[in-house]
Amino acid sequence: MERRATKFVMYSGLRTIGGVVASLEYGGDRVVFEFGAAYEPKTDIYDRHVEKRRKNWVRDQLRLGVLPRIGGIYRREDLGDSELISAEESGFNTAVFITHLHLDHMASIGAVAPQIPVYMHKNAQIIERALEATGEGVDTVEREYSDLVPGRAVRVGQIELLPLLSNDESYMDFAFFITTPDGTLYYTGDLALHGCNAPLVFRQMERIRDLKADVLMCDCTSFMDDIMRMMYGSGDAVIHPSPDVPAGMLGEGAYYERLFASLKDRAGLWVFNYYQREMADARRFMDWAAALGRACVFEPDAAYIVYKFFGVQPNVYVPDSKRYDPAPAWFLELAGHCAFVTAGDIKTRPGGYMLQNSYRHILELFDLPAAGGVYIHADGMPLGPFDPAWANMRQLVDRAGFDYVSFLSDHYFGHGYPCQVKYFVDQINPKVLIPCHSYNPERLLPKDGVQLLPEPYRTYILRDHTLSPEDERSAP
């Protein structure tokens, strides 16, 4: 009888920012970790003009390469006559695990067949369900989600996945330590070593060092050209390991303190554009508003998430382009509990408000008082200058007469700084290092082990604490 082997496949996410999809299988058991899509607006098939087909969106996205071609994941009714094996036809015992709620990590979970469990933290489920209610969630075949609990291992047959908490705010962030009969794999998810939750991550590093991970899949977003040049002047700079925030750069706490200090004396209206999945950012703006005696106001869909997540009754501003007639159930629920604010209210006392404004409703700025006001781009869409919509956003803010402030900074980056990531890797010192979630993964090198840059869809065998291509393992 052929010996069972642990098989690893990385479908995507090696040379993109996000979009990691990978699997470990042993016998008939399989865990798939992450099911997102890289954010590449310049090449996005759905370019804000092409509409997704209602009945055929799964097979369309498979044809286009948006969804990973993994057998045993999708329903036959969604696959049509595709040769791909459906979930109903598959003999695999499969579960999907999501580290956190960013779309580049979970945008495609709604396509997974309902009988396959998809694990997310309960906080993430609250946010996603609120997004789905307002039409802003992931495309979905109407499925339930399973609870991911910090420190509580999940067994999928002979595979065990231990979710390790990396961030205890908002939707919660996790790393995964996965054990099979042949060895272990540790996946960092998004790795932040200078955030307010950095002590959690460093304790996790020490634990994994003691457990001796065979394979480390490590986020190295900051090794891309822009950040390397910003910090070191060159993408080819030698990175010396250090757990400390580099000179000239800021940790998360210091960054937001400095940002608030630079803004708090602005007397006019504050407008902010944030990523609506980020309840930590929503809380930050509500706290800033409270500290300054302002009312924090949200557009209806964002307000609904805040209402469901925090159990508070936020102020609501309805953009002129939105009409709720007939009003959907979620809007009626919001209207029954929250106060509404108009442009006229804000004009009478601009300094009394902090208003959330999404890019699609940016023309609302023309009805709002700009004198002494500021538009804060707080990691909302469009995300950065690489998005063609970025220049248009800047143009419209200028035309409306608001001062522009961005969360983007030459002194701060949200993912771990290169020296910190290198320190993290060296401390764990895995036998095999798979750098990922970066345009330049080859720049992150192991201390003593080997670096592996997996070929997409190629099967690797985990044996003797290392990974080798399946065909090499089977060779005489």
Q: Residue range 3-13: average pLDDT?
A: 94
* pLDDT at residue 450 in the model: 97
Hey, CA dihedral for 236, 241, 247, 249, is it positive or negative?
A: positive
Whether 386 shows a pLDDT value over 90: the answer reads no
- Burial label for 183, CB within 10 Å (0-12, 13-18, 19+), is buried
360: enclosing H helix or E strand: none
Cα separation, 111 vs 90, whole angstroms: 16
Q: Which fold has domain 6-226+414-474?
A: Metallo-beta-lactamase; Chain A (3.60.15)
Phi-psi region of 270 (alpha: psi -120 to 50; beta: other; left: phi over 0): beta
* pLDDT at residue 40 in the model: 76
Torsion angle in degrees (nearest 10) through CA of 279, 283, 285, 287: 180
Mean pLDDT score across all residues of the chain: 94
Whether 18 shows a pLDDT value over 80: the answer reads yes
The per-residue pLDDT for range 120-130, each reduced to its tens digit, is 999 999 999 99
Query: Which amino acid appears at position 434 of this protein?
Result: I
Hey, CA dihedral for 147, 129, 126, 220, is it positive or negative?
A: positive
Among candidate residues 136, 134, 214, 227, the one with its CA nearest the CA of residue 179: 214
Cα separation, 303 vs 319, whole angstroms: 13
**Boundaries of every domain in the chain:** 6-226+414-474, 252-406
Q: pLDDT band at 137, cuts 50/70/90?
A: very high
- Burial label for 81, CB within 10 Å (0-12, 13-18, 19+), is exposed
Whether 41 shows a pLDDT value over 80: the answer reads no
The per-residue pLDDT for range 297-338, each reduced to its tens digit, is 999 999 999 999 999 999 999 999 888 889 999 999 999 999
Six-digit token string for 54: 């209602």
CA angle 275, 277, 103 (to 5 degrees): 90
Q: Are 10 and 432 in contact (CB under 8 A)?
A: no
Cα separation, 401 vs 373, whole angstroms: 8
* pLDDT at residue 444 in the model: 97
Whether 475 shows a pLDDT value over 50: the answer reads no
* pLDDT at residue 225 in the model: 92
* pLDDT at residue 53 in the model: 86
Q: pLDDT band at 476, cuts 50/70/90?
A: very low
Cα separation, 368 vs 317, whole angstroms: 12
Query: Which amino acid appears at position 180 of this protein?
Result: T
The side-by-side arrangement of strands in the sheet containing 173-180 is 154-156, 159-167, 173-180, 183-187, 215-219, 432-436, 450-451
* pLDDT at residue 472 in the model: 65
Q: Residue range 18-29: average pLDDT?
A: 96
Six-digit token string for 101: 């709620």
The per-residue pLDDT for range 417-471, each reduced to its tens digit, is 999 999 999 999 999 999 999 999 999 999 999 999 999 999 999 998 899 999 7
Whether 187 shows a pLDDT value over 50: the answer reads yes
Q: What is the DSSP string of 434-455?
A: EEESSS-GGG---SSSEE--PP
Of residues 310 and 4, the one with the higher pLDDT is 310
Whether 135 shows a pLDDT value over 80: the answer reads yes
CA angle 364, 278, 356 (to 5 degrees): 15
The per-residue pLDDT for range 44-64, each reduced to its tens digit, is 777 767 888 888 999 999 999
Q: Residue range 79-89: average pLDDT?
A: 95
* pLDDT at residue 189 in the model: 97
Strand partners, 30: 25, 94
The predicted model scores a pTM of 0.94
Cα separation, 397 vs 394, whole angstroms: 5
SS3 content of the chain, % helix, strand, coil (to 5): 30, 20, 45
Between the two ends of the chain, the Cα-to-Cα distance in Å is 17
Q: Are 98 and 35 in contact (CB under 8 A)?
A: yes
* pLDDT at residue 2 in the model: 58
Q: pLDDT band at 43, cuts 50/70/90?
A: low
Q: For residue 108, which phi and psi values (nearest 5 degrees)?
A: -105, 10
Whether 235 shows a pLDDT value over 60: the answer reads yes
> β-strand 183-187 against 215-219: which pairing, if any?
parallel
CB atoms within 10 A of CB 51: 8
- For residue 264, the 8-state DSSP code is T
Whether 42 shows a pLDDT value over 90: the answer reads no
Q: Which class in CATH covers the domain with range 252-406? A: alpha beta
The per-residue pLDDT for range 248-305, each reduced to its tens digit, is 999 999 999 999 999 999 999 999 999 999 999 999 999 999 999 999 999 999 999 9
* pLDDT at residue 50 in the model: 82
The side-by-side arrangement of strands in the sheet containing 315-316 is 315-316, 295-298, 353-356, 270-274, 374-378, 403-406
Whether residue 369 has a cis bond before it, omega within 30° of 0 = no
